[in-house]
Amino acid sequence: METKNILHAYLMPGMSANSLIFEKIKLNNVFKLHYLEWIDPKKNESLKDYSIRFSKKIKHKNPILIGVSFGGILVQEISKIIDVRKTIIISSVKSNQEFPPTMKIVKATKSYKFLPVKWINDFDSLLSFVLGPKVKKKIELYHKYLSVRDENYLSWVIKELIEWDQVDPIDNVLHIHGTKDMIFPSMYLENYVPLPKGDHAMILKRAEWINEFLNKNIF
């Protein structure tokens, strides 16, 4: 039987990833962890509508939402729909102003529409696209984590990421970010907690640091 002091934390993986990326995340006993998985987007579904539909998976009042990369964007959108105790994003961004210049150019030119998503079905290419080029040395390790590879899903994620319309950061967001992240370089970010030498896969590679920080600073 759960006590009244239990805090419910929902964990959302990043683009193409499943909840196994959180297998090394260990929070104090006061937290009850709930692992979320991507659901298929509907045809032409906006991120806002997807977030409304996805928010039904949150079964507890005032939860803590933790999201990685694009999952961090999704939990921020969900926090606009339901009341949350805290939103924590890891290896993500708080607004489209924190996108690197390349992403801003892609948005301005709409060039993402011409991206042949089929190439991402090549796992080497998907791995580099999602986590950055340096992780290819451990490609076999990541097969079990990047299991969401449907073409319609990938096309939707790329569009909704590039077209994210959040201009100003929302309140009550704790942002943890690696200083060596190549997907969202830290030089374009403001008001975040730096994880020295952390890259875009630090949820796996630097879980011990993240655990220690969250357990000490989540509030």
pLDDT at 218: 80
pLDDT at 174: 97
Indicate the residue type of 191: N
Q: Which among 94, 103, 96, 73 is positioned nearest to 183, based on CA atoms?
A: 103
Which domains are present in the chain?
7-217 (3.40.50.1820)
Asked if pLDDT for residue 125 goes beyond 70, the answer is no
Residues 63 and 59: their CA atoms lie apart, in Å, by: 9
If one compares 126 and 190, the residue with the highest pLDDT of the two is 190
Query: pLDDT tens for residues 3-53?
Result: 568 999 999 999 989 999 999 999 999 999 999 999 999 999 999 999 999
Query: pLDDT tens for residues 163-202?
Result: 999 999 999 999 999 999 999 999 999 999 999 999 999 9
pLDDT at 1: 40
Strand order from edge to edge, sheet including 7-12: 31-35, 7-12, 64-68, 86-90, 173-178, 193-195
pLDDT at 4: 65
98-102, 135-139, 144-148: least confidently modelled range: 135-139
pLDDT at 146: 83
| Residue indicated by tokens 């077209």 | 163
Asked if pLDDT for residue 123 goes beyond 80, the answer is no
**If you average pLDDT over residues 88-107, what whole number do you get?**
95
If one compares 16 and 119, the residue with the highest pLDDT of the two is 16
